[in-house]
Structure 1
């Protein structure tokens, strides 16, 4: 599915949408998982009403940005994204990040709240343990077969793609950079978001325990809730309608809160 770059005064390289949404009154910024791309969110877009415009983030090093060097640091990713999103003041922003994207979303929201004039009205963190529950993770240090074994175990990529040497060579640099970024990430424990936070998890996700999901709550002074979906780490695949319903519940709640809260 071809995506359309959004034109901004700064950098239209990072953002993709799947068509115009002239009736939208909120913009949902979607941040992919490690190794993921903007197109991951196309099936979700089809389940959302025209009142929501999906803007999907395209990280460097994949798809139409595959000639660029992938970034290996969450803070650098968040710095770049905050500068790209800051000019988008025509609609309220909700950030929705899955796995690594949840961490990038948190850090981007923090930057927009600290210094921007367009802070997000809410964050949905999906499929990722809270930054308040750090662990030692070393997938990025494995050889290529070990890296492939990890994403195979999580059912994140079609095995036929991983069996193709040319596709593996195309995928692995960005995948390793993403794992390096998220596994070496550390956050500022003194900072708490003002916007509400929702957490989505799969009931059988081997990478997120109930405690780790609940540990997102201290990272916001706003409202907090958790929603669980049947499935594993990539519970979103095939559950787009249920996820869209949950997202709309959050978007409405975020919008209602923003309408009564001084910005």
Structure 2
């Protein structure tokens, strides 16, 4: 059984069908993937990762390292790789997913990277250097958080430690710009994403010896909020294909 502290299962999946591990953006939580889990219910078992340091895990120390998160998750996922396994990460989560795929090797059937530059085109991350107001302004600009959060000082205070921890992890992350996997990669990106231009997103093709396809959606960095059903169809089709050919 998946570790209930680390993984949330919102809907039942097929008993012997594919699994999809979903890794949230900076400051994000497992609940961000509830809509995707809803769209995949009955076809794919979705395990949404809950990082320590947020929501009901806020008393636990955050892991301020992208490779550190991947290493911890790799150990937890080892017993769960008996079925076709997909990894999907959004923004920061895509970097965690890539590092995790590197550790798990051929036990990963498909990698879905959303709203993130590939390692070969990574830029320095500096958001962790901002004060609280600067971090919140950055989040507002990306339009990925319900505006009501910013009007609630208690919620902002609770969310800030996780945000800072994740941005510190991103600031310290130095990906291997030459790293390659032997796994199919599906790239998901918004056509108006200020952090991940479409041309940069296509650079993920340099990081796999397998096929790499790119899916461009209308929208910005959090395009996924408006295109969940379409993303779910890409995921389901890909994982069902690898399940048949495995």
CA distance in 1, matches of 2:161, 2:153: 13
Larger mean Cα displacement after TM superposition, 41-50 or 168-177:
41-50
- Please provide the CA RMSD for this pair: 1.6
Which residue of 2 is the match for residue 67 of structure 1?
59
Q: 1:127 to 1:190 in 2, by over 3 A?
A: closer
CA–CA separation in structure 1 for the residues paired with 2:91 and 2:16? 26
Higher fraction of helix: 2
Whole-angstrom distance in 2 between the partners of 1:22 and 1:214: 32
C-alpha distance in 2, partners of 1:35/1:79? 19
Partner of 1:41: 33
Structure 1 residues 145, 161: closer, same or farther in 2, change over 3 A? same
Q: d(CA) in 2 for partners of 1:125 and 1:31? A: 10
Q: 1:20 to 1:210 in 2, by over 3 A?
A: closer
Q: Which residue is equivalent to 1:4?
A: none
| Residue of structure 2 in register with 1:99 after alignment | 91
- Match among 4, 8, 19 for residue 11 of structure 2: 19
In 2, the alpha carbon distance for the partners of 1:256 and 1:225 equals 19
> How far apart, CA to CA, are the structure 2 residues paired with 1:65 and 1:31?
16
TM-score calculated relative to the size of structure 1: 0.89
Offset at 1:186?
1.1
Pairs within 5 Å for 1:1-263: 7-8=1-2, 11-113=3-105, 119-256=107-244, 259=246
Q: Distance in 2 between matches of 1:250 and 1:24?
A: 16
Shift of residue 165, structure 1, vs aligned partner: 1.4
Point out the more displaced range, 131-140 or 167-176.
131-140
Corresponding pairs, count: 246
The Cα shift of 1:20 comes to: 2.8
Question: 2: distance between equivalents of 1:95 and 1:143?
Answer: 32
Question: Is the deviation greater in 187-196 or in 139-148?
Answer: 187-196
Distance 1:189 1:120, change over 3 A: same
1:190 Cα deviation after fit: 4.6
- Greater shift after overlay, 138-147 or 66-75? 66-75
- CA separation in 1, counterparts of 2:131 and 2:110? 38
1:226 deviates by 0.3
Q: Which is worse superposed, 121-130 or 84-93?
A: 84-93
TM-score, with length taken from structure 2: 0.95
Change (3 A) 1:256 1:188: farther
Q: Which sections of structure 2, spanning at least 5 residues, go unmatched?
A: none
Which structure is richer in relative contact order (CA contacts within 8 A, separation 6 or more)?
2
